[in-house]
């Protein structure tokens, strides 16, 4: 009794594990988006665009910079030349004349050539010579843009558009990844269905081979007939092996896209379904809504706006610019008290105005070239718009055609099943040959295979149509 309970529990656990192991299409999409390296790159580009956006916004605010410098001078600074120094004169009442320096011992004025005069002159020279061998200077500069000709605003608009473009391109890359995952997913589903079909076909020809062997033993058929059926059995066995190998490789490819281990193949939720539940969507498409939803067209439209803003940046170089400046600075030695060897502080505030006057047409031609770039982008966008309309029309036609093909293959499948039933019944009654049965089996195999292909085509064209119309949901 305990052994039976353990077996039941084991079966329940295995059933639960198999149910959990089944992966839906939506799960494959999420795994692929999460693990795809190119998606990670696109996300980093979005972050980078955000940093540049904040960088451009900082241009509106005051900029504070610290500047420090040190200089070693080879010679000192002297404010006068010794040959140009004249000693101070005064009126001498003893002589009634203006004399130069008075000798303290004799009370007589000393001539300009006297040593005492030269000594006084030298002292004046020394007093006006300063030690400037080592100079230290530092300051804090504050700059506040007031009017830059619209350049700052244009650059902010450019970075805003660039951030939106990065997000749209990331979403566009996500759509590409989803299409790739869907192709791999439905290929696995298709090959699984064809594996089951190949097994059924092998069983059919094997059963026929057994019947022909019995007939050969009874002498009602020939060995050539048996050999022809044996060939079909071998062909069916080889076809089954090829399908199995293709299915294994397609599972590995899907696992690689989803970022899962290749040695752990996934079991898909849609495997083994006889009907995938496809439905026909309306053939009428509103192109205005398509343009609004398309990620690539939105990115292109924003790119055109970027070039419009670049033209404004080029125009700003032709306009006046105004900035307020303020600074606090210090130096050692300082000039505020006779070049004293100590730090002296000061401040300054003011404004800077720059007005372009004449650049030999360089700035105006730069602006005109930027306007031409913007016009080119506008024309390219109109060209892309026409191509998108054609792309949508082609995708819609392909989808409608695939759906009609599926309906036709379903009708053919019913006929092929009935034809095989009649051929097998007639063969058992001795009213037809093994060749007739083989032909009916081949037609049955082709009808089922075409139905599988048509159903997968509808699923894939549906995905592609949703992508080109901007309606993909994930």
**What pLDDT, on the 0 to 100 scale, is given for residue 386?**
92
Residues 266 and 367 in one domain: yes
Q: What average pLDDT does the chain have?
A: 84
- What are the pLDDT digits (tens) for 360-410? 989 999 999 999 999 999 999 999 999 999 999 999 999 999 999 999 999
Q: How many domains does the chain have?
A: 3
Q: Which of 338, 355, 372 is the last residue of a domain?
A: 355
Q: Please report the pLDDT score of residue 74 as a whole number.
A: 80
Q: Is residue 189 domain-shared with residue 335, that is, in the same domain?
A: no
Question: 324 and 310, same structural domain?
Answer: no
Note down the domain range covering 303: 31-60+150-318+360-468
* DSSP assigned state of 101: S
Q: What's the pLDDT score for residue 11?
A: 46
Q: Residue 117: what pLDDT?
A: 47
Shared-domain flag, residues 110 and 243: no
User: Quick check: is 384 in a domain?
Assistant: yes
Look at residue 10 and tell me if it is in a domain: no
d(CA 178, CA 3): 47
Q: Does residue 287 fall inside a structural domain?
A: yes
Q: Are residues 161 and 272 in the same domain?
A: yes
CA–CA distance, 38 with 23 (Å, rounded to integer): 23
Q: What is the CATH number of the domain that holds 133?
A: 2.20.200.10
* Mean pLDDT to the nearest integer, 210-231: 85
**Whole-number pLDDT of residue 89:** 53
Residue 134 lies in a domain: yes
**One domain for residues 165 and 293:** yes
Nearest to 284 by CA among 398, 406, 393: 393
Mean pLDDT of the 191-195 span: 93
Distance, in Å, from the CA atom of 104 to the CA atom of 110, rounded to the nearest integer, reads 10
Rg (the chain; Cα; Å): 46
- pLDDT category at 263 given cuts 50, 70, 90 is confident
Predicted confidence (pLDDT) at residue 2 exceeds the cutoff of 80: no
Confidence of residue 284 (pLDDT cuts 50, 70, 90): confident
Q: Output phi, psi for 10, to 5 deg.
A: -60, -40
Q: How far apart are CA 239 and CA 237, in angstroms?
A: 5
Is 329 found in the same domain as 227? no
Q: What is the pTM of this model?
A: 0.77
Q: Which of 355, 374, 409 is the last residue of a domain?
A: 355
Together in a domain, 139 and 273 = no
pLDDT reported for residue 294? 92
| Separation in Å, CA 268 to CA 20, 161, 250, 261, 298 | 10, 41, 12, 15, 35
Q: Give the containing element (helix H, strand E) for 133.
A: none
Between CA 199 and CA 469 the distance in angstroms is 40
Buried b (16+ CB within 10 A) or exposed e, 39-49: beebeebbeeb
Q: What is the pLDDT of residue 125?
A: 59
Q: What is the CATH number of the domain that holds 285?
A: 1.20.1600.10
Q: What would the two tokens of residue 356 be?
A: 């372009």
Model pLDDT for residues 46-71, shown as the tens digit of each residue? 999 999 999 999 999 999 999 999 88
Residue 16 is predicted with a pLDDT of 42
Q: Are residues 236 and 331 in the same domain?
A: no
- Shared domain for 45 and 95, answered yes or no, is no
In order of 186, 193, 258, 447, 448, the CA distances from 276 in angstroms are 11, 11, 22, 17, 14
pLDDT of residue 14: 45
pLDDT digits (tens, 9 = 90+) for 95-133: 666 555 555 555 555 554 444 444 455 555 566 677 777
In a domain? residue 184: yes
DSSP character string of 295-326: HHHHHHHHHHHHHHHHHHHHHHTTS-EEEEEE
Looking at residue 429, its pLDDT comes to 82
Instruction: Quick: pLDDT tens for 171-180.
Output: 999 999 999 9
Q: Is the pLDDT of residue 82 over 70?
A: no
Tell me if 425 is assigned to some domain: yes
Look at residue 236 and tell me if it is in a domain: yes
- Whether residues 327 and 366 share a domain: the answer is no
* Same-domain pairing of 133 and 214: no
d(CA 171, CA 302): 15
Label residue 92 by pLDDT band (50, 70, 90): low
In a domain, 16, yes or no: no
Kindly indicate the confidence band of residue 335, based on its pLDDT and cuts at 50, 70 and 90.
confident
């Amino acid at each position: 009794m305990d052994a039976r309970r353990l077996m039941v529990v084991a079966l329940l656990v295995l059933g639960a594990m198999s149910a959990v192991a089944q992966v839906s299409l939506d799960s494959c999409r999420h795994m692929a988006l999460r693990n795809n390296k190119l998606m990670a790159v696109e996300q980093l580009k979005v972050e980078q665009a955000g940093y540049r956006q904040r960088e451009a916004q900082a241009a509106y605010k005051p900029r504070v910079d610290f500047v420090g410098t040190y200089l070693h001078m080879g010679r000192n600074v002297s404010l006068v030349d010794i040959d140009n120094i004249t000693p101070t004169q005064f009126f001498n009442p003893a002589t009634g004349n203006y004399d130069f320096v008075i000798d303290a011992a004799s009370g007589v004025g000393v001539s300009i050539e006297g040593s005492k005069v030269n000594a006084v002159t030298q002292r004046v020279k020394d007093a006006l010579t300063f030690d400037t061998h080592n100079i230290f200077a530092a300051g804090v500069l504050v700059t506040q843009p007031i009017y830059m000709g619209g350049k700052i605003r244009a650059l902010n608009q450019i970075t805003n558009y660039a951030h939106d473009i990065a997000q749209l391109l990331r979403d566009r890359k996500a759509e590409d990844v989803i299409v790739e995952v869907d192709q791999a997913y439905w290929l696995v589903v298709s090959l699984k269905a064809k594996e089951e079909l190949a097994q059924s076909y092998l069983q059919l020809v094997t059963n026929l081979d057994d019947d022909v062997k019995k007939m050969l033993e009874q002498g009602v058929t020939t060995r050539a007939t048996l050999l022809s059926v044996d060939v079909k059995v071998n062909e069916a066995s080889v076809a089954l092996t090829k399908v199995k190998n293709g299915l294994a490789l397609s599972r590995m490819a899907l696992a690689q896209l989803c970022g899962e281990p290749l040695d752990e193949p996934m079991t898909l939720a849609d495997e083994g379904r006889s009907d995938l539940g496809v439905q026909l969507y309306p053939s009428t498409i509103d192109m205005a809504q398509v343009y609004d939803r398309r990620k690539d067209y939105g990115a292109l439209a924003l790119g055109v706006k970027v070039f419009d803003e670049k033209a404004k940046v080029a125009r700003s170089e032709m306009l006046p610019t105004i900035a307020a400046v303020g600074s606090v600075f210090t130096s050692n030695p300082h000039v505020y008290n006779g070049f004293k060897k100590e730090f002296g502080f000061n401040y300054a505030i003011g404004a800077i105005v720059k007005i372009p006057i004449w650049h030999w047409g360089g700035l105006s031609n730069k602006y005109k070239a930027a306007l031409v770039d913007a016009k080119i982008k506008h024309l390219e966008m109109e060209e892309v718009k026409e191509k998108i309309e054609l792309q949508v029309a082609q995708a819609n036609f392909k989808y409608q055609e695939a759906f009609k093909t599926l309906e036709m293959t379903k009708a053919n499948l019913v006929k092929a099943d009935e034809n095989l039933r009649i051929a097998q019944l007639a063969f058992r009654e001795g009213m037809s040959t093994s060749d007739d049965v083989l032909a009916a089996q081949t037609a049955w195999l082709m009808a089922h295979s075409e139905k599988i292909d048509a159903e997968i085509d509808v699923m894939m064209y549906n995905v592609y149509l949703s992508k080109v119309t901007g309606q993909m949901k994930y």
